[in-house]
Chain A
Amino acid sequence: MIEVKNLTKLYGSFVAVSDVSFKAERGSILGFLGPNGAGKTTTMRVITGYMPATSGTVLVDGLDIFTQSLEARRRIGYLPENPPLYSDMRVEAYLRFVARLRGVPRAKMDEALDHAIQVCGLSGMAHRICGQLSKGYRQRVGLAQALIHDPPVLVLDEPTIGLDPRQIHEIRELIRKLSGDRTVVLSTHILPEVSQICDKVVIISDGHVVLEEQIAKLPAETSLEQVFLDAISRERHVETASAEEELEEVGAGHT
């Protein structure tokens, strides 16, 4: 389970994420949706412990990512936006390296490798050099490294970006298969992806959560696209309204 509580992240004076709270339940897939630059990647980087929050907390299976960082990080499998591959390593050596870092015991090493390679459809690619793989295979290796230590929590940042339709389909199937009793959080800006594989959707816009809802509870007659556009425009509307108020206040001060 992942609990994000009142998360705020500033880069200098730029507010990337402001007061974001949501909850991803065990055994479900949460779709983290938002336009480019809405703060999806920032939120995921805080969840995985790559960078600390300015304020607020993240609990991973009840462990605070900042104060109990090592324990919490052990439970997470993370696929960053760009698959973090060492371009001069072979796929198998790379996965072995990641498995060691994440504390897979020596006795279970081969089993873990075989499993990850098989699940991600990498059999036959194990001896290829990471730097020479196509985008689709790089993404698969990225996914394989995220689940090599069989983590209870998977955080996937745009797992289907840059893939062709067939690959997208395959990766989606894979994620659905993987979810089981894991907690999966995946970010995307592709709407059908969310309605196809996710149980819950969180829409974020300009650093604010504008919608958190079970997919099943969304009104059946409106498409997700409509929900998304409504949520985002409501946000914009609120912003313009408050800006107008401010202007009025300034005007009032002058009269």
Chain B
Amino acid sequence: MKNALTIAGKELAGYFVQPVAYVVMGVFLALAGFFFFELLSYFQITLNMYAAMQNAGVLERINLNQRVIEPLLHNLSIVLVILVPAITMRTFAEEKRTGTYELLLTAPIRTGEIVAGKFIASAAFMLIMIALAGIFPVILAAFGNPEIGVMVSGYIGLALLSLAFVSVGLFTSSLTQNQIIAAISCFGALLLLFVISWPAQTGGGRVAGALRYLSLTEHFSQMVTGILDTSDIIYFLSLILLALFLTQRSVESARWR
């Protein structure tokens, strides 16, 4: 564990000496701000429209959470599909290319500790970034009356989603010494996890059910609407553990060849 934290500390510091971290965070927050502003203005217009029509029934059903926070989180999840590969592509590929991999693998530490250290660092980076995006619910709470619980549930969903993305990214990076290949294959895998339930819309039966279960979107949407179900949390945790396990095997495999 101590070794994992040593590696995590070095990795996290590494994110911030390079401009990559600031660019990724900047892009993420700028886009989030844009989405938030857009959604809020649209909400305002809709509200005024129904108010002018004096349609009290509809006015009561218009909901700040549903109209602003939900679409915001969905948009951010898509942004993460593109940004996470940029963060994780270096993790192993760069070490292999520059030869520092030899330093790590000949040090008296376990491969599990290397993987854990890298995961902790990327996870911490993601959580910081998502926490900064937490400013938007705070703004809403200050000037309106959104449901706090639903927003918390949604942000927990986004955090779990980002950790799952990061683990997939570590895995693809551990497979290659080329950062571009690592990034593109991570992007492909994440996008596939997003859309894998699409065939289920036309089909039925067990296959459809299985595809729906595998899909990130299904579980994420649940959490965004405020439903904190253990089965969704277990889905994310198992995805994270599976990807980290595969990463550990992939790193360890350098010792079999």
Binding site for B on A (CB under 8 A): 11, 45, 48-52, 70-71, 73-74, 76, 78, 80-89, 93, 97-98, 100-103, 145
- Chain A residues whose C-beta falls within 8 Å of the C-beta of B102 in the assembled complex: 45, 50, 78, 80, 84
* Residue from A80, A81, A88, A103 in contact with B18 in the complex, judged by beta carbons closer than 8 Å: A88
* Residue from A76, A83, A86, A145 in contact with B14 in the complex, judged by beta carbons closer than 8 Å: A86
> Beyond A48-B106, A51-B257, A76-B106, is A85–B6 a contact (Cβ under 8 Å)?
no
6 nearest A-B residue pairs (beta carbon): A84-B103, A74-B108, A73-B108, A101-B107, A84-B100, A82-B99
Number of B positions contacting A (CB below 8 A): 25
- Chain B residues whose C-beta falls within 8 Å of the C-beta of A102 in the assembled complex: 107-108
Residue-wise, chain B 104-136 has the 8 Å CB interface mask toward A (1 for contact) of 111111100000000000000000000000000
Please, could you name 11 A-B residue pairs with CB atoms under 8 Å apart, sorted by A?
A: A49-B106, A52-B256, A73-B106, A80-B102, A84-B100, A86-B98, A88-B17, A88-B18, A100-B6, A101-B3, A103-B108
**Cβ of B67 under 8 Å from chain A:** no
- Chain B residues whose C-beta falls within 8 Å of the C-beta of A100 in the assembled complex: 3, 6
> Would you call B105 and A101 a contact (CB within 8 A)?
no
> Beyond A52-B256, A84-B102, A145-B103, is A70–B108 a contact (Cβ under 8 Å)?
yes
- Chain B residues whose C-beta falls within 8 Å of the C-beta of A103 in the assembled complex: 108
> Would you call B255 and A85 a contact (CB within 8 A)?
no
Which residue on chain A has the smallest CB distance to residue B103?
A84
> Would you call B14 and A89 a contact (CB within 8 A)?
yes
Which residue on chain A has the smallest CB distance to residue B9?
A97
> Would you call B14 and A88 a contact (CB within 8 A)?
yes
- Chain B residues whose C-beta falls within 8 Å of the C-beta of A52 in the assembled complex: 255-256
**Cβ of B254 under 8 Å from chain A:** yes
Interface residues of B in 1-38 (CB under 8 A from A): 3, 6-7, 10, 13-14, 17-18
> Beyond A84-B99, A85-B100, is A73–B107 a contact (Cβ under 8 Å)?
yes
| Complex Cα gap A148–B103 (Å) | 13
Give min CB distance, A194 to chain B, whole Å.
24
| Complex Cα gap A76–B102 (Å) | 13
- Chain B residues whose C-beta falls within 8 Å of the C-beta of A70 in the assembled complex: 108-110
> Would you call A97 and B6 a contact (CB within 8 A)?
yes
Give min CB distance, A41 to chain B, whole Å.
10
| Complex Cα gap A87–B3 (Å) | 21
| Complex Cα gap A145–B109 (Å) | 16
> Would you call A51 and B99 a contact (CB within 8 A)?
no
| Complex Cα gap A89–B109 (Å) | 21
Give min CB distance, B16 to chain A, whole Å.
10
| Complex Cα gap A98–B106 (Å) | 11
* Residue from B10, B255, B257 in contact with A97 in the complex, judged by beta carbons closer than 8 Å: B10
- Chain A residues whose C-beta falls within 8 Å of the C-beta of B6 in the assembled complex: 97, 100-101
Which residue on chain B has the smallest CB distance to residue A94?
B10
* Residue from B13, B98, B109 in contact with A101 in the complex, judged by beta carbons closer than 8 Å: B109
- Chain A residues whose C-beta falls within 8 Å of the C-beta of B110 in the assembled complex: 70
* Residue from A78, A88, A97 in contact with B106 in the complex, judged by beta carbons closer than 8 Å: A78
Give min CB distance, B93 to chain A, whole Å.
14
